[in-house]
Amino acid sequence: MFKGKSLTLTCLLVMLMPSVADAATPIIEGERFHGVPGQHAMVVTSHTLASRVGHDILRDGGNAVDAAVAIGFALAVVQPRSGNIGGGGFMVISDEASGDVTSIDYRETAPAGAFETMFQDDEGNVVEAASRYSANASGVPGTVSGMAMALERYGSMSLDRVMAPAIRLARDGFTIPARFADGLNDSREQLEKNDGTQRLFYKADGSDWRAGEVFQQGELAATLERIAQNGPREFYEGETADHLIDTIKAHGGIMTHEDLKNYRAIERAPVHGTYRGYDVYAMAPPSSGGVHIVQILNMLENDDLTGTGFGSAASMHLMSEAMRRAYADRSKYLGDPDFFEVPVKALTSKDYARELRAQISLEKATPSEAIGPGNLTPYESNETTHYSVADDSGLAVSNTYTLNFSYGSGIAVDGAGFLLNNEMDDFSAKPGVPNAFGLIGGEANAVEPGKRMLSSMTPTIVKRDGKNFLITGSPGGSRIITTTLEVISNVIDHGMNVQSAVSAPRFHDQWLPDELRIEDGFSPDTVRLLEGMGHNVVQKSAMGASQSILINEEGFQGGADPRRETSSALGL
């Protein structure tokens, strides 16, 4: 691992107005966007301060995992709407030196007192607020356990060393950007319902936050210091655990000290597939993302997407038809593999993909009502944050974690300074009833004690000839899978550089509701052609925020997604 590399090659993606000549050069050369370069390492996150934390860890001799863990704790401070210690997520790690690719599942679990109908009323109707804004909306948090496991097994620095920047940011405060201020101001009505949350995140005089002001979090700093000094079990069995359970009980929740004490992150083998000669590694269940990324790529592999071109009606039609078939399978077959036998081999079979591809007409969209989960028997033998890190030792990390909604359940842990998740909404509150993201679930994802709820988070690493090539992933709820898919296709099928791949407009089809969602930026002619094929095209706001890294013979290129104003890439 490199130590003390020169910072003369360091580049920060910032919103500066280039000169006319500089701005025109990439367009003349055939590229509208250029990634941030690096010779020795790259960090790409959704927040400039978190990127700086990861960069400095690498500069000081840490490896990509050290940087990833430091970033995870830093985002819990500077981006509390999605960065967290009160939620959970997934991390995929690739080590070129050993050839191994692994993943850490630190998804939340249902408390021991959970039961299948807990979010239904006496008539069996789903009570949405119960799974989204109550104390019982929170699964047992996994972030602290997952970060500590990654550091212990694959890092090179101590926990207190990698947590020091986050503690400093919480204690001393940081200058808030417009997105931070706007997020809190816009969420005031929901967050102020909880006295502890109001006290932590809003001014005593009731005035709005403004960009440029300093935000301090003394309680969170103290919590992070306890974890750094005493280790991860402090969160699950120490003073922090007491604060957490006291808060849960005060709000009528069922989570107990035993639930916290019994939580463990799990190391799992990722899902593996191939696409046009590339190896694709992505998160396995209880994430649905890896399975469906591979499944969709399998359906597309024998079609000429390069020939039909990016943004054409032909390409978008074919991809949307593949997407909706994967999401139909998701509704039946995906869940926690420790509780349900997920047919990963069948879903990712190229033979099964050929069967699904044969159902797709190149001229006409298939109505969603005519699509259902496939027969697998013959083949079985939105608010989240993602970041990517890679170093020149061949270590790469793709990490996605979340509280679920923006600011999770809206309930802050009194005396500890952090928000609780509302991941219980990702279970099927009732089979066949959509969750907050419109996703349908079945018995495989029913609520059970100790079970991990299904997720769409899709941290992904693509390799070429055994070398790390593309590290990617995204937030975005149900759109995470399609966002990550499109970044991969943009690079492999359409030859885009990494910044172009993450900046390009996106589309999404999740089977139900029966609509093809598009971002602004596609041609009206393309939309008319898609509508003529039978697609119900609906324009939506920005989808996802992919923070990605491309590695080739020229070095590292970072692509920070402009959909988040604080996104940044830093290279060494």
> Taking a C-beta distance cutoff of 8 angstroms, is the pair 398, 468 a contact?
no
Residues 346 and 439 sit within 8 Å (Cβ to Cβ): no
Nearest-angstrom CA–CA distance, 508 and 326: 12
Token pair for residue 295?
């499944």
Calpha distance 148→170 (Å, rounded)? 19
Yes or no: say if 409 and 137 are a contact pair by the CB < 8 Å rule: yes
- H or E stretch covering 550: strand 548-552
- Tokens (6 digits) for 515: 């609509």
Report which of 452, 451, 404, 440 is spatially closest to residue 425, judged by C-alpha positions: 404
Measured between alpha carbons, how far apart are the two ends of the chain, in Å?
A: 13
β-pair partners for 181: none
Tell me the three state secondary structure of residue 441.
coil
Pick from 572, 567, 487, 501: nearest CA to 44: 567
Strand duo 460-464 + 395-404: pairing: unpaired
**Residue of 10, 109, 384, 566 with catalytic role:** 384
Q: Is 308 a catalytic residue?
A: no
Task: Determine how many CB atoms are found less than 10 A away from the CB of residue 218.
Answer: 12
Closest to 401 measured CA to CA, from 337, 449, 456: 456
Q: Which residues are catalytic?
A: 384
